Amino acid sequence: MTARYVRKARRTGAAALLVATLAFSAAACGGDDGGSGQDKGASSSATSRDSGKAKSESGETTPETDPVLATVKGDAGVEMVITSAMRDSGGFLTVNGQFKNTGSSAYTTPIQWSGRETAVAANGRSLAAMMLVDAQAKKRYYVLRDTDNRPLTTSGYEPSIEAGATLTFFAQFPAPEASTHEVGVQFPGFPNATIEISG
């Protein structure tokens, strides 16, 4: 076998190997594209389904899940809804809830909500007039104040609640004795309500 023949055979073999490699690479890439396209289609379809599900879920009207301790109807279609009365480790009791305007027109919040104390009223609108009554121990609890006579309650709210709107509130009091599990809530413009204490 001559050297010339060997060189020619090597070139032919290398060319054949290169063609085979290119063909295999093209087939592999084509397979990946097809698989990738299939995966992309499946992923897109799943995303579409998930999006539709999310839209469906967000479009549904979910009922309120907050517990309601008391609902008290006031004047002019306003309701006071109390959702919690929680003790904390600092010896305080925090009452949370909402005022709901169920009427057809705006409700102007009475100045009486801020209480009668001049020093407190000077800080603007608040719920300083709210009071808790422990009938068993014959004690009354008033909204706490800070060192500047600002009541520890919702304050600075708008002077009116629009029809269908709500005003979320909190009010913090000294905690009644541990043996007390119920207190009465007194607030101007609303009948007295009895609520349970948590904790």
Give the integer Cα–Cα distance in Å for 19 and 13: 10
pTM of the full predicted structure? Answer: 0.67
- pLDDT for residue 129 is more than 50: yes
**What pLDDT, on the 0 to 100 scale, is given for residue 89?**
86
DSSP string, 2-14: -HHHHHHHHHHHH
- pLDDT for residue 56 is more than 60: no
- Three-point CA angle 4, 5, 6, nearest 5°: 90
Q: Place 11 in a pLDDT band, splitting at 50, 70 and 90.
A: low
- Which is more confident, 87 or 34? 87
**What pLDDT, on the 0 to 100 scale, is given for residue 119?**
85
User: Which stretch, 4-13, 14-23, 121-130, has highest mean pLDDT?
Assistant: 121-130
Q: Place 122 in a pLDDT band, splitting at 50, 70 and 90.
A: confident
At residue 180, the 3 state secondary structure works out as coil
pLDDT in tens, 70-84: 999 998 899 999 999
Nearest to 123 by CA among 152, 94, 97: 152
87 CB neighbour count, 10 Å cutoff = 16
**What pLDDT, on the 0 to 100 scale, is given for residue 64?**
52
**What pLDDT, on the 0 to 100 scale, is given for residue 199?**
74
- Average model confidence (pLDDT) across the chain: 78
Over residues 58-77, mean pLDDT: 74
At residue 90, the 3 state secondary structure works out as coil
By the 10 Å C-beta count (0-12 exposed, 13-18 middle, 19+ buried), 187 is classed as: buried
Give the integer Cα–Cα distance in Å for 87 and 173: 9
